[in-house]
Amino acid sequence: MQMNLLKIFPTSTPTSRLGYGTTSLMAVQSGQERVQLLECAYDAGIRHYDTAPYYGYGEAEMVLGEFLRKKRDQVTVTTKFGIQPPAMVRNRLVNQLARKILGIAPSLRAVLSKKAQSLSKRGSFSAEAARTSLEQSLKSLGTDRIDLFLLHEPNLHDAGSSEILEFLEREVTRGTILAYGCGGEYSMIREIAQAGLPTSRWLQFEDHVLAPHVSEMRALGANCITYRTFLKALPVVSQWLDANPKIRSEWEVALGLNLSQDGVLAALLLGLSMQANNGGIVLFSSSRCDRIRHAARVADEEAVSREQVQRFANLIAPMIKDLSP
C-alpha cells in the first residue's frame, strides 16, 4: 500500500502521518512475530516508527533495529532519552519469563508494567546520560542517525538545561540526530511550549477528542506528534454509546455506519485525531496486524470517509462535557 508521504522532518526522508509506536511489541511472544508486526506496518504504508530505551522493557529498540537493517532509508525513527529501564528488566531471559507469564495470565500486564515503571530510572537528563543513551540507542537500532530525539517525560528545568541544549545542538551538527524535542505528559509539555524553549519545536503528547490539545501547541509554533486515541478515547466513547442506545441509533443514521461493528468507532476516532493534528504525525500501537492495516486504511481515508469523520466531529462536539470522566 502507498500512503501519502510528507516531508515532516525537514532534513529527513518523507514520512507518513500515521506512525507506529513500539509499546505493543512486548505483548507478542516471539522475536520473529515482533519483527513481522513492524513489517506489517511498513507493508500497510506506515513510514514512521516511535520507540524508546524504556519500551518493551528495553527490547523494543533492538527489535526495531532488526527491522531497520533492510528499511532504514525508507522510514523515519523517533527515540528518546531520560528514562532507562532497570538493568534487571533489560535482561532477555527476564523479558522472556515476563512474556510467558503474560501469555498465561494477561491480567497481570498492569501489575508487571507498574512494577517495571517503579524500578525505572527516571529523569537522567545530564548531557553525559544523554550521550550514553544516544550511543546505546544508535547501537540497538543499528543506525547512524535518529530522525527525532526526544527528552522522555522532562520537566521545565530538564527541557531548558543549557548543557542538554549544547549537547543536542552538537549532535545535530554531527548528523547523529536530525531534530530534537520533548515527549511526555501534556501538563509538562504545555509549560515547556509556553516557555518557548528550543526543545519545544518538536512536541509529542496525548491528543484526541477528549483531550484536544494540539491546536494550542501548534499556535505556540510546535510541530506536533500525538497519541492515546485508542487507549483513552475509544473505551470512554464506546461505553458512553452503550449507555445511550438512542443517541447511538441517531448517530448511526447520520453517519450511515454501524457503530457496533468491529473497528468502526476506532476508525472514526483515529480519523478525528488525524484531522486535528493536520500536517503532524499521529501515533498508535497494536499487537495485531489486522488492526495495523485497518489504522492505515483510516489514514488513507478508505476505512471511513473524510465527510463521515467531519459529521462524527459535529455529532460528538456537543457531548464532550458529558463524555469527559
Ligand X SMILES: NC(=O)c1ccc[n+]([C@@H]2O[C@H](COP(=O)([O-])OP(=O)(O)OC[C@H]3O[C@@H](n4cnc5c(N)ncnc54)[C@H](OP(=O)(O)O)[C@@H]3O)[C@@H](O)[C@H]2O)c1
- Which residues of this protein are in contact with ligand X, per CB under 6 A? 21-24, 27, 50, 152-153, 183-184, 204, 227-231, 234, 263, 266, 283-288, 291, 294
Q: CB of residue 68 vs ligand X: minimum separation in angstroms?
A: 15
**Shortest Å distance, C-beta 292 to ligand X:** 8
Q: Which is nearer to ligand X, 160 or 263 (CB)?
A: 263
Tell the smallest beta-carbon distance from residue 61 to ligand X (Å). 11
Min CB(295)–ligand X separation in Å:
6
Distance CA 280, CA 101 (A): 38
Provide, rounded to whole angstroms, the least separation between the CB of residue 123 and ligand X. Answer: 13
d(CA 81, CA 177): 12
Instruction: Evaluate whether 202 touches 179 at the Cβ level (below 8 Å).
Output: yes
Q: Quick check: 285 and 24 in contact, CB under 8 A?
A: yes
Q: Which residue is nearest to ligand X (CB)?
A: 21
Query: Are 312 and 40 contacting, i.e. CB atoms less than 8 angstroms apart?
Result: no
Please tell me the distance from the alpha carbon of residue 251 to that of residue 248, in angstroms, as a whole number.
Answer: 5
Q: Closest distance between ligand X and the C-beta of residue 186, in Å?
A: 10
CA 151-20-8 angle, 5° bins: 65
Rounded Cα distance, 5 and 134, in Å? 27
CB nearer to ligand X: give 140 or 229. Answer: 229
d(CA 204, CA 180): 11
Half-sphere exposure of 213 (CA within 13 A, CB side): 25
Q: Which is nearer to ligand X, 157 or 246 (CB)?
A: 157
Least distance in angstroms from the C-beta of 178 to ligand X: 17
284 touches 231 (CB < 8 A):
no
- Shortest Cβ distance from residue 283 to ligand X (Å)? 4
Does residue 43 contact residue 305 with C-beta atoms inside 8 Å?
A: no
Q: Can you tell me the distance from the alpha carbon of 189 to that of 153, in angstroms, rounded to the nearest whole number? A: 8
Q: In terms of CB distance, is 49 or 167 closer to ligand X?
A: 49
Nearer to ligand X, 81 or 230 (CB): 230
Phi, psi of 32 (to 5 degrees): -65, -45
* Ramachandran angles phi, psi of 28, nearest 5°: -95, 140
Residue bearing cell 552538537: 170
In the bound state with ligand X, the residue whose beta carbon lies nearer, of 150 and 178, is 150
Q: Is the Cβ of residue 143 or residue 285 nearer to ligand X in the bound state?
A: 285
As measured in angstroms, the least distance from the Cβ of 238 to ligand X is 9
Distance CA 112, CA 23 (A): 14
Return the number of the residue (178 or 224) whose C-beta is nearest ligand X: 224
Nearest CB to ligand X, comparing residues 26 and 255: 26
Residues forming beta bridges with residue 208, ordered by sequence position: 211
Supply 101's cell numbers: 507469564
